[in-house]
C-alpha cells in the first residue's frame, strides 16, 4: 500500500422447520399483545448534532465507513430493506453494498473468523472502523464477531479480502493512522447493534458456545445497542429480556421495543424514509427526548422506533469516523 496515501482501496433441516413454525405462531401472538414503551438508557452521541434535515452528518461529503448488515437464520425478510432505508436517509450506497456481488444483506451463516478478517480489510483500506447491524441470528453473529476480534476463539485471524472473497496470507494489517503493523485480533468496530437476538434459537441451532457470551459485549465495539422486542417468543423472550452488558469500557445501550413489533419484520423500514411525516420524526429523534409517535391513520409507523434509534447512532459514528479520516488525510 502506498505510504503516502494510506486510504487507497484496491480495485474491485429440521431446526429451521422448528423456527418456521415458531415464526408462524409468533405472528399470531403479536397481534394479541399490548404495546409497550421504548426504553433508551444512554445520552446522545456527541457527533450527532447539529445535522441538517436531510439526515446526513454536517458536511455530507464526509467519507462513510462500511456497514455490514446481517440477516436472520431464516431470511424471510433479509436486511436489504433496512439498507434501502439507510440509503434513502442519505447513507452512501457504496458503503452498504457488498463489493463482490452488490448485495445489501449478508448471510448470518458467515463464519465469525471471516467476518472479523473482513472488518480488518475494510479498516486497512478505508481508514474507518466499520459498523455491524444484525437481525436475530445476525445479531448473534455480530456479538460473536466482537468476541472473535477480542481473541475469544482464535489467537490469530487471517485478513479476509471481500473483493476476492478469499483470506490473505497474513494475520496483521498496516494501521492507516500509525502505519505500524497490528494484528487483526484487537481491532474494533465503531458501532454494532443486535435486533431481537435471543438465547432460545441459539439452543435450538446448537450455537452453545455463544450462550454464555450472548449478552456480554467486549471492548472491540466502541458502542453497541441491543434491541429487544418485549414478549418475543421467537427469541425465547417472555418479558423485557436479559440486558446486554459491557465486559469493559464499551458504551452499551439497551432498547426495549413494543410487544406489537414483529420479530420477523423488524428490517422492514424503507417506507419510513419515503414518508415525509416519519422521515421528519426520525430526523428529530433523540434517545433522551423521544418525540410523540405520529398517530395519523394514513401514516405507517411500523418499526419507527428502532429505525430512528439506529439512524441516530449510525449518523453519529459516520460523522466521527469520517472526521477522523479527514483529519488524518489533512495531516499526511
- DSSP helix/strand/coil, 282: helix
Handedness of CA 316, 217, 179, 120 (dihedral sign): negative
Question: Tens of pLDDT along the chain (332 residues)?
Answer: 333 333 333 333 333 333 343 333 333 333 333 333 333 333 334 454 434 434 556 545 799 999 999 999 887 899 999 999 999 999 999 999 999 999 999 999 999 999 999 999 999 999 999 999 999 999 999 999 999 999 999 999 999 999 999 999 999 999 999 999 999 999 999 999 999 987 655 554 566 587 788 899 999 999 999 999 988 888 777 767 789 999 999 999 999 999 999 999 999 999 999 999 999 999 999 999 999 999 988 999 999 999 999 999 999 999 999 999 999 988 65
| 265-to-22, 136, 144 alpha-carbon distances in Å | 14, 11, 23
39/54 Cα distance (integer angstroms): 26
Which of 209, 287, 199 minimizes the C-alpha distance to 235?
199
CB 100 within 8 A of CB 73: no
| 147-to-88, 167, 189, 215, 269 alpha-carbon distances in Å | 32, 19, 12, 11, 29
* E strand intervals along the chain: 67-70, 131-135, 160-161, 166-167, 172-174, 181-183, 191-195, 216-217, 223-229, 245-246, 251-257
Q: Which residue matches cell numbers 413494543?
A: 258
113/157 Cα distance (integer angstroms): 6
Three cell numbers, residue 241: 429480556
Strands 166-167 and 160-161, bridge-based pairing? antiparallel
Angle at 225 between CA 224 and CA 228, to 5 degrees: 145
Three cell numbers, residue 249: 469500557
81/83 Cα distance (integer angstroms): 5
**241 secondary structure, DSSP code:** -
- Residue 3 burial class via C-beta count within 10 angstroms: exposed 0-12, middle 13-18, buried 19 and up: exposed
230/239 Cα distance (integer angstroms): 6
122/160 Cα distance (integer angstroms): 9
Amino acid at each position: 500500500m502506498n505510504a503516502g496515501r494510506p486510504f487507497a482501496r484496491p480495485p474491485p433441516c429440521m431446526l429451521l422447520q422448528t423456527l418456521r413454525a415458531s415464526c408462524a405462531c409468533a405472528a399470531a401472538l403479536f397481534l394479541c399483545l399490548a404495546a409497550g414503551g421504548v426504553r433508551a438508557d444512554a445520552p446522545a452521541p456527541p457527533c450527532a448534532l447539529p445535522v441538517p434535515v436531510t439526515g446526513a452528518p454536517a458536511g455530507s461529503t464526509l467519507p462513510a465507513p462500511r456497514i455490514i448488515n446481517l440477516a436472520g437464520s431464516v431470511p424471510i425478510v433479509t436486511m436489504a430493506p433496512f439498507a434501502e432505508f439507510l440509503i434513502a436517509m442519505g447513507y452512501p450506497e457504496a458503503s452498504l453494498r457488498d463489493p463482490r456481488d452488490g448485495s445489501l444483506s449478508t448471510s448470518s451463516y458467515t463464519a465469525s473468523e471471516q467476518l472479523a478478517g473482513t472488518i480488518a480489510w475494510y479498516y486497512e483500506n478505508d481508514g474507518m472502523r466499520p459498523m455491524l447491524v444484525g437481525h436475530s441470528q445476525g445479531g448473534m453473529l455480530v456479538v460473536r464477531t466482537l468476541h472473535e476480534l477480542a481473541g475469544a476463539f482464535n489467537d490469530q485471524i487471517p485478513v479476509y479480502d471481500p473483493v476476492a472473497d478469499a483470506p490473505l496470507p497474513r494475520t496483521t494489517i498496516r494501521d492507516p493512522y500509525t502505519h505500524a503493523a497490528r494484528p487483526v485480533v484487537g481491532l474494533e468496530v465503531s458501532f454494532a447493534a443486535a435486533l431481537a437476538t435471543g438465547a432460545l434459537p441459539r439452543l435450538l441451532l446448537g450455537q452453545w458456545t455463544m450462550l454464555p457470551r450472548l449478552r456480554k459485549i467486549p471492548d472491540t465495539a466502541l458502542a453497541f445497542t441491543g434491541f429487544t422486542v418485549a414478549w418475543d417468543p421467537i427469541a425465547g423472550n417472555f418479558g423485557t429480556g436479559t440486558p446486554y452488558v459491557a465486559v469493559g469500557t464499551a458504551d452499551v445501550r439497551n432498547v426495549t421495543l413494543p410487544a406489537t413489533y414483529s420479530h420477523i419484520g423488524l428490517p422492514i423500514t424503507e417506507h419510513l424514509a419515503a414518508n415525509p411525516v416519519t422521515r421528519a420524526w426520525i430526523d428529530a429523534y433523540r434517545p433522551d427526548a423521544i418525540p410523540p409517535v405520529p398517530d395519523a391513520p394514513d401514516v405507517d409507523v411500523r418499526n419507527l422506533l428502532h429505525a430512528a434509534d439506529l439512524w441516530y447512532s449510525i449518523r453519529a459514528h459516520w460523522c466521527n469516523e469520517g472526521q477522523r479520516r479527514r483529519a488524518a488525510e489533512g495531516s499526511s
